[in-house]
Structure 1
């Protein structure tokens, strides 16, 4: 079998896969995406795992060889029941059969295959999902899978004739058949953690899959059923994400609206593009992408709100000593009712302290539950509150030489810097370089950046603050440069 892509004259499957795999690895490296293991399903260890898994299914009487007949979608690599096939006008105007779910063409196929007794697992799958409401998240996708299980669940063809598909793993003991690509591919989750050796049991089933919604059926029905058939438990969690559209349309090579992530990484920086995708990517539904949207978000939240806040609080004009100023409890008592003659904190200031104090736990919860966009929403809201706090008290109008102003000026800067320290710590998984730059500017050492060590504004609660009086880190320039330079030029022209 040979593949003829548009730009390549004649490429064997192995060579094409090598090229594409290398491109993904290069992209992950450029995007700051690390992995403890990068598995190719052509590796010998994976072939051994697939053969062992096949043997487990066969030993339990779950595989039979027989004539398989039905609608086959080559693009989706699966057979479809009649109810999942419809007809749409083709290029000539004549109706052609297509998949209801994907819209890809299907054809009636009849061949001898090995068949997995999937129909036996309909009730066990329903019990699994009803017994664990969090097995598939977000909830709408779990509901979709339960709805599929209300319908017919036919047995599944798990091999193809080797005459038609010699690229793949041969069925053990029957070289006339190739193991179905999806069964082969899904077993890679086990291969990566050492299956079939005993070491894999320390990981399984305490495992989470993160998948696109278009492959939900393979991961939430076929895969759990195959695992149960092999005597294993379903995955611990299946997190599902939706897709990105471009200006309201699905990305398509024919439409020419495919977004090249490498170009975006260069244009918006690695941290900027990561922030946009995780800030705007809502798993429950498709999200729309266009360049103006990226520019507006990054300028507003990273360049102006967060970067502007850092610049204000570390500028030599407002912080000439270049230190973490002292916090004055008399100016900002722990409770509004304790206010004395020196107190200057307002109700809105206490609301800010409460919001930022609660932020680490909220963000950790959202990170743990695959709701990163909600975590970043909360961080962004607190950044806005902190800017409001600084704007409200206008420390640039206060005088360090004034005995009345100095304690409050130091307190305002101390609170703002403490808020920035929290933001930088919580943003590390999303924008690692930007967070490092921010925390370094605040003088926060590498050993003080863990979530477990994050104690916000200890002086407010009557405890010592290790940062009070500490020298700030060296000047590192703009935290995040504005992408829309037209507004920057306008600001300079008006001197504001």
Structure 2
């Protein structure tokens, strides 16, 4: 349909993915292709391990075959429909693609023998597949029929792929070939032991069965352990509709980066992307969220707390224990020093934030981590607004102590937010931390501490000159006249 050969098409499409990742500031240690010699060698070795372990046999196979999905489907996954000419036909329930009855001689994988091992693996590792709804989905699949899997195709109709070793009439099934990429990229079959099985896969829900049933079974058959974690995500819809070329609503990531900036687009996707369910995209939603949380709440807070009118010395001011004394339990506490009970509650929230965010990041619940950060940013703005530091008289020694303490706490909060947001909005986080004069070696997540002076410990930033003022932290986005981003065919 593209009017080109499979190798040329794959070269073009993989180039688009490579360019998209680079433009979106997604770093990677390797970008592997199944056409690479190292991968094809790994596939041949993996096939040999399956064969030598008795997991393969040659048999005549017939069933409903879906060409776009390159797989046979059982009756339970089919529905009756009518084709374009009005003739009755069968289609895949999941994708809607038409299937055809096909009979051919292929190599078969004894998938049926791995039901018990797969169930045991999942029972012993309840977090192997996250989030939990997908874990439960896989368990239900394992209660259904688990027929042996056809793992080769006739070479005469599928020449693009790795030939079966010692049988030039067959091509290795794409979902065996492709999955071995996870091994070939870490040096299989020689040096993969340095990484495997401490691997975490991130996959779309539409390819869950391949990753959570076929792949672990194939690994077990080849004498290898399944991956440590499989993180599953859902899909983006556009104004409630599935993206499709026929509807003309496919969103171009390059256009989005141009429209919202790299950080703005990344923030929206990670803030609004809930792995368990499909999430909706439209232009007004992006503009409203990014303006509210990045430009106004975070950027406004930095601008107000570093303005020369309120901080004329342009420094990280000192914290006063007399204004904000340490208390053992803030709950039920009345005002102490100049601080209110609400202030103590707010400081406790920010102090607990790094551990909360780390936990959510590790559990692939990035949207929850960003939700927590956004809430703390709002609380910090509330703290700043509540105490109105611009009304305090810097010439009065007592007032100056409290003014400096307010600014110190606010800058400490901003330092925590900037540090935690580095994986999500790297450019904006760097700009924020540079404004606070936080050196590159002081930006690590593992060593992040908040408000050490409150606990009687020294603060390395206290008295430090702030970095240069580089202007607005995040420029507000303009509303689109068309209310949605221009799309284009990739």
TM-score greater than 0.5 by the shorter chain: yes
Within 5 A, what are the aligned runs for 1:280-429? Answer: 280-335=272-327, 343-429=337-423
Quote the residue 2:71 is aligned against: 78
Matched, 1:465 2:459: yes
Matched, 1:52 2:31: no
What secondary structure sits across from 1:206 in the alignment? Answer: coil
CA spacing shift, 1:411–1:115, aligned 2, 3 Å: same
Quote the residue 1:64 is aligned against: 57
What secondary structure sits across from 2:11 in the alignment? Answer: helix
Structure 1 residue 404: Cα displacement = 2.9
- 1:205 pairs, out of 159, 183, 197, with 197
**CA deviation string 1:433-492 (max 9, x = no partner):** 100000000011111111122111011111111111111000011110111379xxxxxx
For 1:171 and 1:404, how far apart are their aligned partners in 2? 82
Structure 1, unaligned stretches of length 5 or more?
487-496
CA spacing shift, 1:299–1:158, aligned 2, 3 Å: same
Structure 1 residue 83: Cα displacement = 1.5
CA spacing shift, 1:340–1:331, aligned 2, 3 Å: farther
Quote the residue 2:4 is aligned against: 11
Quote the residue 1:492 is aligned against: none
CA spacing shift, 1:342–1:67, aligned 2, 3 Å: closer
For 2:467 and 2:318, how far apart are their aligned partners in 1? 17
For 2:142 and 2:53, how far apart are their aligned partners in 1? 23
Structure 1 residue 336: Cα displacement = 8.3
For 1:312 and 1:188, how far apart are their aligned partners in 2? 50
TM-score, structure 1 as length reference: 0.94
8 Å CA contact 1:330, 1:340 repeated in 2: no
Structure 1 residue 14: Cα displacement = 1.2
Structure 1 residue 337: Cα displacement = 8.8
What secondary structure sits across from 2:398 in the alignment? Answer: coil
Structure 1 residue 82: Cα displacement = 1.4
Quote the residue 1:494 is aligned against: none
Between the two proteins, the alignment pairs up a number of residues equal to 478
- 1:37 pairs, out of 30, 33, 43, with 30
For 2:225 and 2:146, how far apart are their aligned partners in 1? 20
**CA deviation string 1:377-425 (max 9, x = no partner):** 0000000000000000011111211223111111100000000000000
Structure 1 residue 340: Cα displacement = 12
TM-score, structure 2 as length reference: 0.95
Matched, 1:258 2:250: yes
Structure 2, unaligned stretches of length 5 or more?
481-490
For 2:427 and 2:108, how far apart are their aligned partners in 1? 50
What secondary structure sits across from 1:444 in the alignment? Answer: coil
Structure 1 residue 341: Cα displacement = 11
Question: RMSD value over aligned CA atoms?
Answer: 1.6
For 1:79 and 1:298, how far apart are their aligned partners in 2? 44
Quote the residue 2:235 is aligned against: 243
**CA deviation string 1:147-188 (max 9, x = no partner):** 011011001000010110111110000000000011000000
What secondary structure sits across from 2:305 in the alignment? Answer: helix
Higher relative contact order (CA 8 A, sep 6+): 2
For 1:325 and 1:92, how far apart are their aligned partners in 2? 76
For 2:89 and 2:136, how far apart are their aligned partners in 1? 31
Quote the residue 2:181 is aligned against: 188
8 Å CA contact 2:435, 2:467 repeated in 1: yes
**CA deviation string 1:32-58 (max 9, x = no partner):** 111111111101111110000000111
For 1:341 and 1:153, how far apart are their aligned partners in 2? 65
8 Å CA contact 1:336, 1:347 repeated in 2: no
